[in-house]
Chain A
């Protein structure tokens, strides 16, 4: 049944896009390429320019500068109704004066294609809502409305489907379920999806490629695992999950490893995992990549070892425990430990050492804002 909706998704390319509003620049020199058939997420905090970018692609805003290429053709000058692009709006924007079926058939009718109603019925069947076709949108639940909005966009077989935080209004459980469904539908129909969201879990969960946006530009772009494992900027490191961060002057660097001195301690990372190897740099590590030890581990060039410090807080989150460890002269570190039948491994107030493998360190290109440089 989904074959009805298989369309050839097309490549989207943004070249030097800039959008100015009176008094500020929302998007600045944005370059982006999304291959056909990919699920691409534009991730960032509110006000980072991601929704403006999406609206420019939909034609609801016009860029001050730059080109929007869809399948190699510049669509920047086209009116929204002329673009082979459909949007699932944040608030769904279903027409309250039409039935669910008429909502879905709207695009087909406007393009004067044949069989608008049977096409709409098939689209509703795909989102499993054919039994609600005659209802009004306001009689449906949030999750159902979301699916109608999706069907209304997909029925047109757009070259590119834009999703503007479509799951934002749903509760957590429904959101999870819709994420899975959305991803399944995307795989089924093979369309190019551009998903705008501020929810990093959602982006990482669903997208093939994630672009992290901040203040109108893309901080980093890549597969979710790469972004998480190897953030290049402090913003990405903080926005995608938690991390322990150490800032210090580089004391030694060679082709293999790079070390900094942080409050008298040496912290080492791999040179190939460092964006910068001179001057003052920041080295970070994810909390789940760190371990603690009740006795001091033996010195090992492959390990960073800090401690001893006192466990000041233990938080049970189900699959793991989150420990706060206050190491004198170093500061507070966060360590995640899996609950594999031995929790809590250590008691509150215990003295422990923290270690991690040097290949789990990542070196950033910039310094976290609000952190004083150590001299």
Chain B
């Protein structure tokens, strides 16, 4: 939904039930059907579930239709720390990923522009992690950072870590894993934008007395903002709902659970479907509000 808000222009005015209008409608049918089946239906089902009440029979995992708005209040009070942690991690990981990805994208798109071989190799390297399942990759980091690993032992030997320090299960490990997993999603949109950057604008900046850093701040960066915004959305939204990296099976610990982990636990383990649904609905609503405000504030439609 956020992407619709971000990417779409105002559609052309309908021209009444003309012949082209009917054809267009016909061509839209598969898409509308898809949306109805795979988006509207689950969404409605989710909202209905989030308002259900415990079964009158008292059976575990059974719920009756109802209008229990209290489910929302319960979810918020019960899981406030996880909700707060989720958004903090998402913001932090997005900012770090941006700081790492922008220079990479800039180097590939601008500095390697006239060197197609280098450019190809670098782009392949950015995409290469996708060739391996991200579960495996995240698990590999668990091995690398595990308590008896080379990394931890070396850190202990050189005195950075105390005898009982560890990495797995800490906030650092989770944010690290999130950043690592989402760097390509940040890099590629920024690359796609910078690849189209007209370098004569940069030259014009330097011709008009702007130093290289000034030229970057006044010209390159504002012009690449649409890429930065797509990248941050592609990173922030999935991270907010991520439940793999922060789970105890991977890089997380008892105190790192994010909203995704809460939803997973309520759905699959506790079988508290209404609470899980209420959290999901709130997560979605928060992201929609947050992202709309972000896109509006950054004024992307003002650019080009």
Contacts and interface: CB of A to CB of B under 8 A. Distances in A.
B209 interface: yes
Contacts of A85: 207
A60 B210 CA distance: 13
Choose among B209, B210, B214 the residue with the greatest number of A CB atoms under 10 Å from its CB.
B209
Contacts of A228: none
Contacts of B57: none
Contact of B214 (A80, A95, A110, A156): A110
Interface stretch (A11-19, A86-94, A338-346, A364-372): A86-94
A315 interface: no
Contacts of B198: 91, 93
Contacts of B203: 58, 60, 80, 87, 89, 93
A152 B208 contact: yes
Interface string A103-142: 0001100110000000000000000000000000010000
Given A91-B200, A93-B201, A96-B304, A110 B208 contact: yes
B245 interface: no
A87 B223 contact: no
A106 B210 contact: yes
Interface residues of B, number: 22
A264 B109 CA distance: 65
B266 interface: no
Interface in B88-144: none
Given A89-B200, A91-B200, A93-B200, A58 B223 contact: no
B211 interface: yes
Contacts of A93: 198, 200-201, 203-204
A92 B303 CA distance: 19
B277 to A, nearest CB: 43
Given A93-B200, A97-B304, A86 B207 contact: yes
20 contacts: A60-B203, A79-B206, A79-B211, A80-B203, A80-B207, A81-B206, A82-B209, A87-B203, A89-B203, A93-B201, A93-B203, A95-B204, A96-B201, A96-B223, A97-B222, A97-B302, A106-B210, A110-B208, A110-B210, A156-B208
B219 interface: yes
Contact of B303 (A81, A87, A91, A97): A97
Contacts of B212: 81
A80 B200 contact: no
B223 A110 contact: no
Interface in A337-368: none
Interface string B160-202: 0000000000000000000000000000000000000010110
A86 B206 contact: no
A58 B208 contact: no
Contacts of A94: 204
A236 B208 CA distance: 35
Interface string B211-229: 1101100110011000000
A95 B210 CA distance: 13
A81 B201 contact: no
B210 A81 contact: yes
Contacts of A152: 208
B209 A156 contact: yes
Nearest to A112: B209
Q: Which of A58, A97, A107, A138 has the most CB of B within 10 A?
A: A97
A110 B204 contact: no
A110 B205 CA distance: 9
Interface string B260-285: 00000000000000000000000000
Interface string B276-304: 00000000000000000000000000111
A138 B211 CA distance: 25
B208 A107 contact: yes
Given A86-B207, A94-B204, A111-B209, 5 more contacts: A80-B203, A80-B207, A90-B200, A93-B198, A107-B208
A60 B303 CA distance: 27
Interface in A55-71: 58-60
A87 B207 contact: yes
A177 B207 CA distance: 27
A79 B213 CA distance: 13
B200 A86 contact: no
Contacts of A86: 207-208
A123 B201 CA distance: 20
A85 B209 CA distance: 9
A89 B206 contact: no
A287 B198 CA distance: 45
A31 B301 CA distance: 50
B200 A81 contact: no
Nearest to A149: B204
Nearest to A106: B208
